[in-house]
Structure 1
Amino acid sequence: MHNPYRVIVAGAGLGGLALAHGLRNQGLDVAVYERDAHPGARPQGYRIQLDEPGLTGLEHCVSPPLFRLCLATAGSPPARISVRNRHLDALADKAALRGSPAGDGQGPLAFNRPTLRQVMLAGLRDHVHYGARLTAYRHEADGTVTAHFADGRTASADLLVGADGVNSTVRRALLPEARIEDAGLRLIYGKVPLTGSARADVPPWVFDSIFTVVTGGPGHPHVGLGPVEFNARPEQAGPAHVPPVALSPVDDYVACMVGAPSDHPAVPPFEVLRALTPAQLRDVTREVLVGEWHEDVHHLLDLWDTHSLFALRISTAVPVPAWESRPVTLIGDAIHAMSPVLAMGANTALRDAGELTHAIAGAVGRGERLVDAVRAYENRMTDYAFSIVTDSRRTGQQRVGQRWIPPAESPLIGQGYMSLWSGV
């Protein structure tokens, strides 16, 4: 064993970065390896919603000043989740989860995902290695793990953590029996800008809830809307941090997404959908939302920033039986990708980071092996995470017609899967 312990995190998403912060704060030697060439190499989505589980996990991992910066660059819409029919009649309206770690009783928060990621990269820049696509790993005789990357690089550590998303290389090697299913939903995602006088053009009911679903019913299209109005401008809050953190300017916006079953006649196969231009994606949504949709819905789509549009396909994990713990483990979508309807994908990934940090800190303090910490974490994680996966699947089937697509019809290859609604 080594002192300090060495940990490799595969994947620089929110969960992987949070874990890197948490373990470094516990004195471990952590290196993050990310397949993308740089942080902005591909679309990372826009809005995410963090409730108590995610906020608690984030607070447990990052330093107090960085956590305060995360909160400062969030938005605080009304803590309600609304569901309306296509005529905008209310079907459900309930309070969202409350109780933030800030101790002020504040409800869930809306974050701009790229901004949150920039904050979390602060203090880790020398520890994140880009252009490093993990291809395999090998267990060594001394109990360590060697990671192999596509460019020929190798790295050894006492623990390898797969935070590498739905198409996880680590999961395929560790749990080849684990399955990820196509949920039968396709999504076109974009932003409605709120700059200048544009906010007045958005129907007021959009701002009444942290997230609103306008649904045509199970098996029919739906629209999701989530406002992001920053408590503090990122480009101002970042430089005010000590030490300063450079954050890209971002204007307020409404995340706006149109979802439809994969077999909807206006929705092409995903490989075709993903290759369409933003203008063509806009045309698809017009064909999807035909019929008696309220004029406000069509007006919102007229306000879309066409250049912001991209397509996604939704997936969900199949719970797996308990496995033998090794010096390799998984967090986030790499192990428990879930339907987005409960908005718990990012929340659960950040909870994973906090739980694993806590387990490792306890093991190190007691002089135990890291694999003992991994076992404790996996026992807890599989209990809470897969119950959420099941609940998300059930709610998705009831609310938007989520369904199972046989693997032979929908091979999970390449990019394009994301846990969504407020989890993107």
Structure 2
Amino acid sequence: MIIVGAGLGGLALAHGLRSNGIDVALYERDAHPDARPQGYRIQLDEPGLAGLEHCLPPTLFQLCLATTGTPPARVSVRDRHLRVLADKAALSGSGAGNAAGPRAFNRPTLRQVMLSGLRDHVHYGARLSAYQYEADGTVTARFADGRTASADLLVGADGVNSAVRRLLLPDAPVHDAGLRLVYGKIPFKRNSRSDIPDWVFENIFTVVTGGPGHPHLGLGPVEFSDRPDRAGLAHTPPVALSPVGDYVACMVGAPADHPSMPSFEQLRGLTHAGLRDVALRVLGADWHEDVHRLLGLWDTDSLFPLRISTAAPVPAWDSGPVTLIGDAIHAMSPVLAMGANTAIRDASELTRALSTAARTGEPLKDAVRTYESRMTDYAFSIVADSQRTGRQRVGQR
């Protein structure tokens, strides 16, 4: 199998297929794993944890859990004066091993764990330019640098700007959700946890909102039970993981048409300090003093901009030797923290469909059709829920 994209969904799928005896090669357009910022904290709830456990070797799944934080499983929404508007339990785990969940992961650490055991199967600097169907039912992928690869199935796991989706479903729309984020983190230094207000640690994630169509602040603590590099060394065999300390993920968002929000192209051209200045202007002086204290603790060098996208439902298409998982087919806003969860669930569902076909002799096309029918049913329902919640909380389009 060919997987285009070595993000979380693609890596989970590769592990799942390999564990079922299916050969896999991953092709990633980035030059190396750390070629661009891909975020910090992600939250995995029941769908993602169950999918991760299904796809990964048991020891790697346990290492994933050992490199997570377990904040209180509640999500809180507050107004800009910190009055609680909503407070509810986050999705809980149900059967994902001892991951009672939800869990707060450091995204780069999770990728490092998932890359272990796959490094010889990932080909970097491979930008897909085309693919073609062969007479024998296989598919050949062509990359911009002249490389080619053929397989029974090509899976697009290449994110919001998926090249595979553009080729397979050229009319499948991905819309600008009308939100811009400045994303960074507040690292813990000596005694600095006491500098952070207690309410930040009362939930797995907190949204402080100015209301629909106004700016918002998102906060998610990541406190490791053991530092990832130490947990990696304790693994058998040892897995080299970069050292990272506890932190709070902190993001400031606003509608794209907010008067203090530059265009995304301008945001991308700003220095780290310039991004911080934008965030401070966006929130303004009438937000609670705790908010401004938190922004004063931001690691300025960690900041980068994000543009939020959302996919529209896609009518059923003819199944064949090319399919899609994750943001490549169902990009969604992050307000429900379900993007990574759903991508990993996709990987699990596709693994299950393909391994069943390999065991029973079911035609590959039928297995792909089974996966696509299930995936579009659950995934676009979550996209719609995310869009509806984003409109209510933060003015998403």
The TM-score range, normalised by the shorter chain, is over 0.9
Once residues 138 and 101 of structure 1 are traced to their aligned partners in structure 2, the CA distance between those partners, rounded to angstroms, is 41
Q: Percent identity?
A: 77
Long gaps (5+) in structure 1: 1-6, 404-424
Q: Which residue of 1 aligns with 2:290?
A: 296
Counterpart CA distance in 2 for 1:388 and 1:102 is 20
Give the Å deviation of 1:106.
Answer: 2.1
Q: Is the 8 A contact 1:98 1:105 kept in 2?
A: no
**Whole-angstrom distance in 1 between the partners of 2:39 and 2:226:** 20
How much is the aligned-residue C-alpha RMSD, in angstroms?
A: 0.8
Aligned-pair distance for 1:275?
A: 1.1
Within the alignment, does 1:254 sit opposite 2:233 as a pair? no
Q: Do the aligned partners of 1:51 and 1:100 also contact (CA within 8 Å) in 2?
A: no
Within a 5 Å distance, the mapping from 1:230-309 to structure 2 comes to 230-309=224-303
**Structure 2 residue identity aligned to 1:227:** P
1:122 matched residue in structure 2: 116
User: With structure 1 as the length reference, what TM-score do the two structures score?
Assistant: 0.93
Shift of 1:291: 3.7
Change (3 A) 1:102 1:387: closer
Q: Deviations over 1:56-80 (max 9, x none)?
A: 1111100000000000000000000
Matched, 1:180 2:204: no
How big is the shift at 1:30?
0.2
Match of residue 12, structure 2, among 7, 18, 33: 18
Query: How many equivalent residue pairs?
Result: 397
Do 1:222 and 1:258's aligned partners in 2 also have CA atoms closer than 8 Å?
yes
Q: Map of 1:328-339 to 2, 5 A cutoff?
A: 328-339=322-333
How far is the alpha carbon of 1:102 from its aligned partner?
A: 4.3
> Is the 1:55–1:100 Cα contact (8 Å) retained in structure 2?
no
Query: Residues 79 and 209 of structure 1 are in contact (CA less than 8 Å); yes or no, is this contact kept in structure 2?
Result: yes
Between the aligned partners of 1:263 and 1:128, the Cα distance in structure 2 is 40
Task: Give 2:60's match in structure 1, choosing from 59, 66, 82.
Answer: 66
Distance 2:343 2:283 in 1: 33
1:134 pairs with 2:128: yes
Contact 1:59 1:101 in 2 (8 A): no
Matching residue's letter, 2:50: T
**Separation in 1, partners of 2:50, 2:304:** 31
1:210 aligns with 2:190: no
Distance 2:42 2:19 in 1: 25
- The answer on whether the counterparts of 1:273 and 1:281 sit within 8 Å (CA) in structure 2 is yes
- 3-state SS of 2:368 partner: helix
Does the Cα contact within 8 Å between 2:78 and 2:209 map onto a contact in 1?
yes
Residues 275 and 101 (structure 1), Cα distance of their counterparts in 2 relative to 1, 3 Å cut: farther
CA distance in 2, matches of 1:48, 1:323: 31
Secondary structure at the residue paired with 1:195? coil
Deviation at 1:286, TM superposition (A): 1.1
Local SS of the residue matching 1:264: coil
**Which residue identity is paired with 1:75?**
G
Q: Residue 399 of structure 1 aligns to which amino acid in structure 2?
A: R
Structure 2 residue 394 is the aligned partner of structure 1 residue 400: yes
Given candidates 358, 361, 364, the residue that maps to 1:367 is: 361
